[in-house]
Structure 1
Amino acid sequence: MATQIRSGDEQAFEVLFKRHYAGMCGYAFRYVEDNAQAEEVVQDVFLNFWEKRLTLEITGSIEAYLYRSVRNACLNHIKHTKVKLRYAESQVMSLSETDNQVSDKVVELELREKIDICVDQLPPERKRIFKLSREEGLKYKEIAGQLGLSVKTVEAQMGKALKFLRENLMEYLPVLAILVQVSILVKEWLIKYF
């Protein structure tokens, strides 16, 4: 199979993908503890494997190589997340020293504007699913029925939407930490968007 994939045989690659995708997602989930993130890691591993198939030197089985790649990608993701959290915590510390200089209302408005901008950047179907869930309070099954989609598709789209919002609102984490103590409105936003 390795020779077939190396020569660009897409059917052989698809067989490999279908054979190992679910198991690799379960394996990745043990590390990242998030289904959407686990799937993204596995998809990235397969994409990277396909793109570098001509230059890869695999000793042992392809399966072992792929699982090692998933483990390494998960560990890199965890490390990157910890770095971002440490940065956010340091920002909270520096903000707590100067929080008297910041107007809470202005920051709330800025945060709301940033959230609205992020939501507007979502692809149309994902945006519709997100709004039905977070603004109208529909359950995934209700959204799936209303839009004629599978519940799994709704879950996947919500996972991607929330991941996008978390990544794009990371810089506001320190501000959120301070505002949670003073604003019911911000608490409502956190429940909706995180």
Structure 2
Amino acid sequence: METGNNISDFHIAPLDAASFKMLYQCYAKKMYRICYRELQEEELCADIIHNVFLSVWERRETLIMDNPEAFLIHAVKIQILKFFRDNASRKSHLQNSLQDYSEADTSTLQAIYFNNLSERVYLLVDKLPPQCRRIYLMRDQEGLNNTEIATELGISVSAVKQQIGLALSFLRKNIVREV
């Protein structure tokens, strides 16, 4: 499309409605082709072209365009880059959200498995012979070492070790059956 004589006058502010219409008619199709080549989405391209011209119209009182074609093409390219940046940011946020959700889901499952395992261990501990159960609980719940348990119960350290070994062997064997 051949440009009219008035196109060179766009550098003069303010831009009136007739000049704006001529600007649109002269450059909208070219801007759309540039945009479509990058984005391949008709509606998105139409929105970008609309937004560029809306911005020009809103700034018509103060906007000076010495080279309207270069100005408008540059504006479209900036909007395309902005779209890619925003889209990448949205994808990144979505990925982070999904990862956070996945980690929360995993930690919830781990907590459920841990609670289930703990419950089974306590049920099995209740099945231990009384002396063996007492020694095991003193070590695991009260945090006492073998010497402290032996001193408190008045038995040898080797007897404590033997009872702990029996308790652990019983728990390992029976936990595996229940899993």
- TM-score norm. by structure 2 comes to 0.50
The DSSP-based 3-state class of the residue aligned with 1:78 is helix
Match of 2:56 among 49, 56, 69: 49
2:71 corresponds to which residue? 65
Aligned equivalents of 2:97 and 2:43: distance in 1? 28
2:64 counterpart SS class? coil
Q: Distance in 2 between matches of 1:64 and 1:47?
A: 17
Report the CA distance shift for 1:10/1:22 in structure 2 as closer, same or farther (over 3 A): same
Q: Distance in 2 between matches of 1:8 and 1:55?
A: 8
Q: What amino acid is the match of 2:105?
A: D
Alpha-carbon RMSD across the aligned residues, in angstroms, is 2.3
1:70-129 per-position Cα deviation (integer Å, ceiling 9, x unaligned): 001110111011001000001111111233669xxxxxxxxxxxxxxxxxxxxxxxxxxx
Q: Which residue of 2 aligns with 1:75?
A: 81
1:3 deviates by 4.5
d(CA) in 2 for partners of 1:75, 1:44: 14
- 2:57 is matched by which residue type in structure 1? W
Q: 1:7 to 1:18 in 2, by over 3 A?
A: same
Q: CA deviation at 1:5?
A: 7.2
Following TM superposition, where does structure 1 have runs of at least 4 consecutive aligned residues deviating by more than 4 angstroms? none
Check if 1:23 corresponds to 2:4.
no
Runs of at least 5 residues in structure 2 that lack an aligned partner in the other structure:
1-5, 110-179
SS at match of 1:6: coil
Number of equivalences = 101
The 3 A distance-change label for structure 1 pair 26 and 75 is same
Identity, in percent, stands at 22
**Letter paired with 1:74:** I
TM-score of the aligned structures, taking structure 1 as reference length:
0.47
